[in-house]
């Protein structure tokens, strides 16, 4: 019961990030906001490690795979934040969580994992749902500004699908609070470098931007990720898929309540297909383990 509660709380906290990001982008640019978010996430992760009493403190080694994970994670968040300038928080939640479906395709090529009928059906449902949401089956919408945001968010989803596969490759080296702290620090570093080079951090940030970044770093990054990692040790793969569906539903709810966003019938149809694809993919992964 404790693990299920952790999963639900993680989904609840993560779901709030989509409308918060959409609002925060009024006060900070995408790269600036992402950088400050992971500054706070890394800060809280480091403080947690310092306060945590560990009897055995082994040498801290940063494997090259950590650098790749930090880079892909930073790129994924930048694409999501950039995309949310042009598309809604609801659509972002629907599209970005497709990474679990795309990861199966990447794993087929990189890890030679089995690509069975269930996973192919999951991919077909996901692509149909994504097309319904982004274009409403009308190609003329490709000229609109929203499609630009949708494609950027889709790019984030694809990057995170690669991140998931790389995490699986690094399993054994990537686990526990120390590894999580390393990831958050490297993500911050890979966001900080382009921020400094492009002048995204020129001048002091507004107080509102910092408050939103603080919220995202603590309540939408450090806390839910820590809870999720703890719960995942004793939960089946399907539970993580259910978490994504709950996260999507809650994100759409918050976006409607606080941003006034609405979904058309085609958006809802696409959302149902995406939810089904995620659950089907989770079931397939669970059966293969």
Mean pLDDT of 44-63: 73
Average pLDDT, the chain: 87
3-class secondary structure, 115: coil
Question: What pLDDT sits at residue 239?
Answer: 61
Between the alpha carbon of residue 189 and those of residues 5, 7, 75, the distances in Å are 32, 28, 12
Q: How far is CA 243 from the centre of its chain?
A: 12
- With residue 126 as reference, give the H or E element that holds it: helix 117-135
Between the alpha carbon of residue 78 and those of residues 17, 61, 74, 177, the distances in Å are 14, 27, 6, 24
Question: What pLDDT sits at residue 216?
Answer: 98
Mean pLDDT of 255-273: 93
d(CA 80, CA 77) in angstroms, rounded, equals 5
Question: What pLDDT sits at residue 65?
Answer: 85
- Alpha helices, H only, 170-288: 176-198, 207-217, 223-232, 237-259, 265-288
Q: How far is CA 228 from the centre of its chain?
A: 13
d(CA 212, CA 21) in angstroms, rounded, equals 8
Comparison of pLDDT for 192 and 240, the residue scoring more: 192
Question: What pLDDT sits at residue 53?
Answer: 55
Domain spans of the chain, in order of start: 2-288
Question: What pLDDT sits at residue 136?
Answer: 82
Show Cβ contacts of residue 15 under 8 Å, excluding neighbours closer than 6 positions.
93, 246, 247, 248, 249, 250, 251, 253, 254
**Cα angle, residue 47 at apex, residues 234 and 31 outer, rounded to 5°:** 90
Instruction: Write the pLDDT tens digit of every residue in 141-185.
Output: 666 668 899 999 999 999 999 998 888 777 655 556 777 888 899
d(CA 68, CA 42) in angstroms, rounded, equals 17
Stated length of the chain: 289
d(CA 35, CA 206) in angstroms, rounded, equals 14
Mean pLDDT of 26-33: 98
Q: Inform me whether the pLDDT recorded for 241 exceeds 80.
A: no
102 phi, psi to nearest 5 deg: -65, -30
Q: Which residue has the tokens 């995620």?
A: 278
| Start-to-end C-alpha separation, the chain | 22
In terms of Cβ atoms closer than 10 Å to its own Cβ (0-12, 13-18, 19+), residue 172 is exposed
Exposure b/e, 195-216, CB count within 10 A at least 16 = b: beeeebbeeebeeebbebbbbb
Question: What pLDDT sits at residue 141?
Answer: 64
């Amino acid at each position: 019961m404790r693990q299920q509660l952790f999963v639900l709380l993680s989904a609840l906290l993560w779901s709030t990030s989509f409308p918060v990001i959409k609002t925060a982008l009024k006060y900070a640019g995408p790269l600036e906001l992402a950088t400050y978010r992971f500054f706070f996430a890394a800060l809280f992760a480091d403080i947690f490690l310092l306060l945590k009493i560990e009897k055995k403190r082994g040498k801290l080694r940063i494997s090259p795979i950590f650098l790749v994970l930090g880079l892909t994670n930073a790129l994924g968040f930048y694409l999501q934040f950039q995309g949310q300038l042009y598309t809604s928080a609801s659509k972002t939640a629907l599209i970005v969580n497709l990474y679990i479906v795309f990861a199966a395709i990447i794993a087929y090529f990189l890890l030679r994992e089995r690509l069975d009928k269930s996973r192919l059906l999951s991919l077909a449902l996901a692509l149909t749902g994504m097309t319904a949401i982004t274009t409403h089956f009308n190609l003329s919408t490709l000229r609109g500004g929203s499609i630009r945001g949708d494609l950027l968010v889709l790019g984030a989803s694809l990057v995170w699908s690669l991140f998931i596969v790389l995490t699986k490759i690094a399993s054994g080296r990537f686990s526990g609070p120390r590894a999580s702290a390393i990831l958050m620090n490297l993500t911050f570093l890979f966001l900080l470098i382009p921020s400094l080079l492009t002048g995204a951090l020129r001048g002091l940030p507004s107080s509102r931007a910092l408050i939103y970044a603080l919220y995202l770093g603590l309540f939408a990054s450090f806390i839910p990720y820590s809870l999720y990692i703890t719960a995942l040790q004793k939960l089946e793969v399907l539970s993580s898929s259910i978490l994504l569906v709950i996260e999507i539903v809650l994100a759409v709810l918050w976006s409607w309540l606080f941003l006034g966003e609405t979904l058309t019938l085609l958006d809802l149809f696409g959302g149902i297909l995406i939810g089904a694809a995620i659950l089907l993919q989770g079931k397939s992964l669970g059966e293969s383990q």
